Amino acid sequence: MDFGFIIEAMPRLLPGLWLTVQLSLVGLAIAALIGLPLGVIRSERDRGIFAIVIDTYVFVVRGTPILVQVYAAFFLLPMTGLRLDPFWIGIVALVFNSAGYQVEIARAAMRSIPRDQWEGAAALGLKRWRALQLVIVPQALPRMLPALANEASNLVKASSVLSVIAVFELHKSANAIISQSFKFLEMLAAQAVLYVAFVLALTQLAVWLERRSTGRISHDAQSVR
């Protein structure tokens, strides 16, 4: 193992790492805007057509590999007339994948809230959507954070698949160096270090947000008393 080469190659991997950061964070944020509201809606015990559509979407996401979803975005989007940069095709694939899992994260968190919280909100005269906004969702969000942190780490690792559509993220950048230097093990080690560092940073951010949100809920409860 040539550790000197690893240190020397690190600056060449930083642009790829930065692109991985952008893909992961943008994909996670857009997926949250789609998946979490759908999960809140799906937490209602309704078997209407909208619930069936959401369940079908989640089933497709969970039942197909991310690689198939990436290729589907790459080949199907141009057939609809959308000519996107590979970066945005990658974003579409990551959002499609992550939003499906976030639907289930939100649904499970919402259904974990005790029924008496709904009854208490109704006793205060709050309508259903107002109860969701003021009582239920603020309690459900901290319960979502550990699962969302896990989904973020999965999305970071899934972004490496975008190398197949010529997105120069971290994995693709490392492969380019390997093709020039044939330092395969060294580049595997360098990728591992950078991926672990990024995932660790996201995990620590999620822990901090969870503590902060839990502390705020406790403070609000004491204020009410």
pTM surpassing 0.75? Answer: yes
pLDDT score at 31? 96
- For the ranges 41-50, 61-70, 125-134, the maximum mean pLDDT occurs at 61-70
Query: Is the model's pLDDT at 67 over the cut of 90?
Result: yes
pLDDT tens for each residue of 195-217: 999 999 988 888 888 777 766 65
Q: How many domains does the chain have?
A: 1
Q: Check pLDDT > 60 for residue 126.
A: yes
Terminal alpha carbon distance of the chain: 62
- Assess whether pLDDT exceeds 70 at residue 65: yes
Given this model, what pLDDT does residue 214 score?
66
Rounded mean pLDDT of the chain? 87
Query: How buried is 52 (Cβ within 10 angstroms: 0-12 exposed, 13-18 middle, 19+ buried)?
Result: exposed
The average pLDDT across 148-157 equals: 92
Between 221 and 90, residue with greater pLDDT: 90
Distance between CA atoms of residues 183 and 186, nearest Å: 5
For residue 112, which amino acid is it?
A: S
Residue 154's domain is classified under what CATH number?
Answer: 1.10.3720.10
Q: Which residues of 148-176 are buried (b: 16+ CB within 10 A; e: fewer)?
A: bbbbbbbbbebbbbbbebebbbbbbbbbb
In 3D space, the residue among 156, 155, 25 whose CA is nearest the CA of residue 100 turns out to be: 155
pLDDT in tens, 20-47: 999 999 999 999 999 999 988 888 766 6
Nearest Cα to Cα of residue 13 among 140, 150, 221, 186? 186
Range in 40-44, 109-113, 146-150 the model is least confident about: 40-44
By 3-state DSSP, what share of the chain in percent is helix, strand and coil, each rounded to 5? 85, 0, 15
- pLDDT score, position 20: 94
Tally Cβ neighbours within 10 Å of residue 135: 18
Q: Containing domain of residue 160, as a range?
A: 3-224
Phi and psi at residue 109, to the nearest 5°: -65, -40
Residues 159-199: tens digit of each pLDDT: 999 999 988 889 989 988 888 888 889 899 999 999 999 99
Give the pLDDT mean for 62-71. 94
Residue 146, CB-side half-sphere exposure with 13 Å CA sphere: 5
- Per cent of the chain over pLDDT 90 is 44
**Amino acid identity for residue 24 in this structure:** S
**pLDDT score of 75 more than 90:** yes
